[in-house]
């Protein structure tokens, strides 16, 4: 496993995304992922699966300190007292005393950013999390957040895959010593039928998904693919025994298009 180092945090380069994984399936996948060598699990309050993520963690018997657990605070809990209360609720569900990384899930223009960041920093000071960060922050918001936050932010978790150019966010993260954590890293499964990725994969004896994830990791990005299939857990982590050549990296960078963004919840920030 490689790690992405960012402002004191060591984030495993591959993690398991858990959005839409529920109940027994979620607990079983988390347990199995950890048994297969995953050391990074991504959940969120709004996924309504923190309890099952916690069950999977305990069932795996992997030592707590060896796993990097991220959760996220939803936007309706950004008022300072709400943020602390809701983080404690997350910890109760996970049955953990602290998470490794606590993120603001989306920007919320209705609560002053400095106040929310102050509360996020306090959550760290009070031992509820080891590190703090943001998600879905544009470059402008990221610069604002770094300037306003009393503690270092370690990542911006954003959508990133070969169909979407994230050069600006990647450069901003690097400028601030932060990591980019890529969500929807296999473009919600769309990479499966991609001819370019499949062709590159054949050269290395790898699948299109493995080429895609390797391309992210080779940029010093951490990726959190989600799967509900046990066999794909192994596929998605088996990317550390090959490397893409510079020409292959460049070819994949050229796949991005202005229509490549897949996430649109109707309240997304203005990106450009
Ligand atoms: N911060 C945010 O706002 C935010 C937003 C979205 C997501 N996330 C996080 O990022 C995680 C990943 O993003 P995502 O769930 O949107 O999308 P994703 O991981 O890119 O794609 C998941 C989809 O791809 C399929 N898939 C997974 N591995 C595959 C493989 N090797 N080959 C072919 N298909 C494969 C899965 O199907 P099967 O289940 O059939 O394998 C599933 O339908 C989420 O689970 C969540 O933890 C965060």
Per annotation, catalytic residue among 38, 47, 160, 163? 47
Q: Ligand 1 within 6 A of 95 CB?
A: no
| Measured distance CA(255)–CA(197) in Å, rounded | 10
| Measured distance CA(33)–CA(23) in Å, rounded | 16
Residue 104: Cβ within 10 Å count: 28
Q: What is the CA radius of gyration of the chain?
A: 18
Pocket residue to mutate for ligand 1, from 18, 19, 236, most atoms within 8 A of Cβ: 19
| Measured distance CA(150)–CA(50) in Å, rounded | 28
| Measured distance CA(210)–CA(163) in Å, rounded | 15
| Measured distance CA(116)–CA(150) in Å, rounded | 11
Residue 272: what pLDDT?
45
Listed as ranges, residues in the chain with pLDDT below 50 are 272
Q: What angle do CA 68, 229, 239 make, to 5 degrees?
A: 55
- The position carrying tokens 């951490």 is 222
| Measured distance CA(90)–CA(55) in Å, rounded | 13
Residue 264: what pLDDT?
72
Phi, psi dihedrals of residue 71, rounded to the nearest 5°: -130, 170
């Amino acid at each position: 496993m490689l790690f992405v180092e960012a402002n004191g945090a060591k984030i495993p380069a591959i993690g398991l995304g858990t959005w839409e994984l529920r109940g027994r399936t979620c607990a079983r996948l988390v347990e199995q992922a950890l048994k297969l060598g995953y050391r990074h699990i991504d959940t969120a309050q709004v996924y309504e699966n923190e309890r099952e993520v916690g069950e999977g963690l305990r069932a795996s018997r992997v030592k707590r300190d060896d796993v990097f657990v991220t959760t996220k605070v939803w936007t309706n809990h950004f008022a300072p007292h709400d943020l602390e209360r809701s983080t404690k609720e997350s910890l109760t569900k996970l049955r953990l005393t602290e998470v490794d990384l606590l993120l603001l899930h989306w920007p919320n223009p209705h609560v002053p950013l400095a106040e929310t960041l102050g509360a996020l920093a306090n959550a760290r000071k009070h031992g509820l999390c080891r590190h703090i960060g943001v998600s879905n922050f544009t470059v402008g918001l990221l610069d604002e957040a770094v300037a306003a936050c009393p503690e270092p932010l370690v990542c911006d978790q954003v959508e990133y895959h070969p169909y979407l150019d994230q050069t600006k966010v990647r450069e901003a993260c690097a400028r601030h010593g932060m990591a980019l954590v890529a969500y929807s890293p296999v473009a919600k499964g769309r990479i499966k039928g991609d001819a370019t990725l499949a062709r590159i994969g054949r050269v290395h004896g790898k699948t299109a998904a493995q080429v895609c994830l390797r391309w992210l990791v080779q940029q010093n990005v951490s990726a959190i693919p989600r799967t509900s299939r046990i066999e794909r857990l192994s596929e998605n982590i088996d990317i550390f025994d090959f490397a893409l050549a510079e020409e292959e990296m460049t070819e994949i960078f050229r796949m991005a298009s202005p229509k490549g963004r897949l996430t649109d919840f109707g309240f997304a920030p203005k990106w450009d």
